[in-house]
Amino acid sequence: MRDPDALIARAGVRGDPDRDQHFLVDDRVLDRLPTYLESEAPRASDDVSGESPRAEELDADTTHLLEIGGGTGALTDRLLAVADEVTVIERDPTLAAFLEREFSAEIDAGRLTVIEGDALEVELPDFTASVSNLPYGVSSEIAFRLFPEGKPLVLMFQQEFAERMVAEPGTGEYGRLSVSSQHYADVELVESIPKEAFSPPPAVQSAVIRAVPRDPDYEVDDEALFLRFVKALFTQRRKTIRNAIRNTAHISGLETPDAVVEAADEELLSARAGALSPADFAALSQLALEVGGPDLEE
């Protein structure tokens, strides 16, 4: 495997915190990241938050791996060792050009494609799974571009963000991010990463999540409305659901929020957003679709 510090030296660059560039340089972490696509992945012994309920079903297809934010290629090198084909999206022109030079043999062999561009704007390839150390400033936007693709994901985020993704109802971390993430996949925090694993070290600790795609165990006929409804109710998480529905029609798009309140179950109406499960939000959004008025497509 290529040495991450040597790659930085050959690239002639330094990570720039102002541009969200923190290069992962810990060989042990780099070596572990691709293994989280396997059902029996080795773990960092003290940094794991529990087993995913569907981990045994993973063993992801590594035919074509997608990496977002390739940097100087330390993770790219590890992905090439396990994949038939890798596509890297890198927005920094200098780093994209370096990847093309450093991995010219792999590119010539048709095993690596480097796309210079913004991961929020470029067309995504037909990938089978993604392993990525995401740029933290746009990690949420990128994650929710990847989730609907329905592919296994191993993604690195700020620790606090990752904890919110996996949070359960009734906890302080549970919120819109939790519901939206868990709508698409079983999400598991598999490893916490210390600041010292990066060059330069970021201001916060990082964490790796593994997302195993699956269909939710509830019905959602209008996914856009469901996600809007979740967003709306969490903007007033200290209010009861009854008041939150009435106060956030400008976000949810409901024309007749009172009709939803009149039709909803009293137990749900008396609760607060942080206590509702994703299935509860789905039931409310289905009700809103039926009685909330025609102004639902934005």
| pLDDT tens, residue by residue, 171-207 | 999 999 999 999 999 999 999 999 999 999 999 999 9
- CATH 1.10.8 matches 223-291: yes
CA-to-CA separations, 131 to 70, 88, 143, 152, 229, in angstroms, rounded? 10, 10, 11, 9, 30
Angle at 271 (CA atoms; ends 249, 141), nearest 5 degrees: 55
pLDDT digits (tens, 9 = 90+) for 33-67: 999 999 766 555 444 433 433 444 568 999 999 99
pLDDT in tens, 203-242: 999 999 999 999 999 999 999 999 999 999 999 999 999 9
Q: What's the pLDDT at 21?
A: 84
Q: Tell me what the mean pLDDT of segment 271-291 comes to.
A: 95
* Element containing residue 212 per DSSP (H, E): strand 206-213
pLDDT of amino acid 15? 82
At 57 the pLDDT is 56
Tell me the domain boundaries of the chain.
4-213, 223-291
Per the annotation, binding residues are 22, 24, 69, 90, 118, 133
pTM of the predicted structure, to 2 decimals = 0.90
Binding-site annotation: residue ranges for S-adenosyl-L-methionine: 22, 24, 69, 90, 118, 133
CA angle 102, 108, 109 (to 5 degrees): 110
CATH superfamily of domain region 4-213: Vaccinia Virus protein VP39 (3.40.50.150)
Say if residues 257 and 292 touch (Cβ distance below 8 Å): yes
Q: Are 267 and 237 in contact (CB under 8 A)?
A: no
